[in-house]
Amino acid sequence: MVERGSKQDGTIDAELTERVARLRRFFDVEEIVNKQIEITDIITYYNRSSLGYSLIHSRDGAVHMSLSRNGKYDPEGHQVQVELVSQEIADSRATRILELGCGRGYNLARLAKNWPNAEFVGIDLSPKNVDATRKEVIGLLNVHARKANFESLPIPDGSFDLIFSVESLCHACSTGRALAEANRVTTTGGRLVVVDAWRSGKVTGATAEEKAAVSLTEKSMAVSSTMSADDWSVLCEKLRWHFLSRHDLSSAVMPNLERFERLADRLLDKPLLVRIAGLVFPRDLMNNVIAGYLMAQSVRQGFHSYGLVVLEKGG
């Protein structure tokens, strides 16, 4: 059995900054790190990465990570986030539910089937994703999808009992605006369920090279900059979101991250193939190689974590 942080030959995995040095052979690291992520970049990233998501990530249409129940990668593990949200729907008895960043409709289709008496709405920035969601939920009369930005929701105040986001709020250009809008359209006592990645406080004391590596990990996936868990918590409290529960799922997501890490490592061992792929495939799709190579190591070194947070709107 190979221990986490080691390779098949017994050598210890390189530090995050050493991995970045390897990536520089094929990618303009500084350009990616210094790029200011805009809404159009997020839309472009998902549109151009769709082939990779379908072939490597999930053939069932999920655009979030698989979670493991037994320490091994589970191709069906994308269902775990659905189960986590479903539990919150049951606990809160929510009947009006909104998903922020619905992707291709994987979550909505499964939740709408499980809760036929509830009304579901999904929004996404990408028209392509919205079209895919509408196809995914054909025949389900209790779910609708529309194009919208969760930082400026075209939705009346207090419209939903529960809002959830799976690996979407990290893309917010302004986390404050996104959380404030979610608060506005939620009923008093309603819930916000977030499954996502956060930076740790360790990043504050990191070297300049380590901070650049953390930023590269994020921006290669069109994430401007994830907030630290502590700063995110303070912001939530200011916006009248009260914490009901927090769960660290970093160990559950690691088998998926390590799968991506192995795939990226094998590709990077074939320089000619990487360069040919760089000429054939869109840059946004190729940037997923960067994310795949760095994410697991960033979590190992404690710069990022992955978890579930459940909040309640105060009065």
Q: Is residue 84 part of a domain?
A: yes
- Tell me what pLDDT residue 315 has: 77
Q: Is residue 128 part of a domain?
A: yes
Structure tokens that stand for 186 in this block: 């939620």
- Tell me what pLDDT residue 175 has: 96
Q: What is the mean pLDDT of each run of 10 residues along the chain (315 residues)?
A: 39 78 96 95 95 90 95 95 98 98 97 97 97 96 97 97 97 96 98 97 93 96 92 95 97 97 97 96 96 97 97 92
Q: Is residue 11 part of a domain?
A: no
Q: CA angle, corner 46, sides to 191 and 149, nearest 5? A: 45
Q: Is residue 267 part of a domain?
A: yes
Q: What is the value of pTM for the model shown?
A: 0.94
Whether 290 and 220 have beta carbons less than 8 Å apart is answered as yes
Q: Is residue 3 part of a domain?
A: no
Provide the residue range defining the domain that includes 213.
16-313
Please report, for the domain that includes residue 37, its CATH number: 3.40.50.150
- Tell me what pLDDT residue 12 has: 46
* Total tally of structural domains belonging to the chain: 1
Can you spell out the DSSP letters for 161-214?
EEEEEES-GGG-S-HHHHHHHHHHTEEEEEEEEEEEEEE-GGGGGS-HHHHHHH
Q: Is residue 247 part of a domain?
A: yes
Q: Is residue 8 part of a domain?
A: no
Q: Is residue 245 part of a domain?
A: yes
